[in-house]
Amino acid sequence: MVLVIQIAIMEVSMFDLPYLVTHPLAGSIYKRHAELMDQVKGMAVGSGDRKAAERRISILEQYRLPKPFPAEQTTAPIMDESGMVIAEESSLRRRLTTVHPGRPEEFRIKVRAALEEKIVHPERTWRELSQQFGFNNHKDLERQVRLLKKMLQKEGIEIPTSADYQAAQEAFDRGLAQLHSTTPPE
């Protein structure tokens, strides 16, 4: 488990890292995705269990960060001093499968972002959030958030609280301040 998360952190691009650190729901989705990917590696190719796990991975991927750029689709081995491959460097945006039927992935990413915004600012209405995130109808956004919550519950991912987001942002800000205070001037 710890190894999977460490490898996942090594794979993240610098653009994505602040977002994942300050958005606990997105981070939890990535962690669960990494756990499922680890489970799939030990399953027989073509088995029913593997296909079910791959379907769950495919659903989780739709709520992660946007699709990778073509350059991010490539992978590179990470080797130790002896030349043995110890990990693989790739983008956290990389997908297991490339085609998803139905609405575009960007729609699901907006749904997750709207839920996160609602958690952080509970006083905001769904109507305001639907306008902010480009939905035509606030009822459609609410319906999609219910589907997201159902998927999160099925995967065992807890929905973070407003305090979790505030604590994550404060920890990130402290770490960033510490980094800037210890970095020697150029």
The confidence score (pLDDT) of residue 9 equals 39
pLDDT for the residue numbered 181: 79
Closest by CA to 78, choosing from 172, 185, 6, 25, is: 6
**How confident is the model at residue 124, as a pLDDT?**
94
| Paired strand residues for 89 | 76
Return d(Cα 180, Cα 91) in angstroms, integer. Answer: 26
* DSSP state string for the chain: -HHHHHHHHHHS-TTHHHHHHH-HHHHHHHHHHHHHHHHHHTSPTT-HHHHHHHHHHHHHHTTSSPPPPGGGG--EEEE-TTS-EEEEE--TT--SSS---SS-HHHHHHHHHHHHHHHH-TTS-HHHHHHHTT-S-HHHHHHHHHHHHHHHHHHTPPPPPHHHHHHHHHHHHHHHHHHHHHSPP-
Mean pLDDT by 10 residues, the chain (186 residues): 38 59 88 90 87 89 70 67 73 52 74 93 94 92 94 94 90 83 62
What local confidence, expressed as pLDDT, does residue 74 receive?
Answer: 64
- Looking at residue 75, its pLDDT comes to 67
At residue 17, the pLDDT reads 72
Query: What pLDDT is stored for residue 119 in this prediction?
Result: 94
Residue 103 confidence (pLDDT): 65
pLDDT at residue 111, as a whole number: 92
CA-wise closest residue to 113 among 132, 139, 88, 94: 132
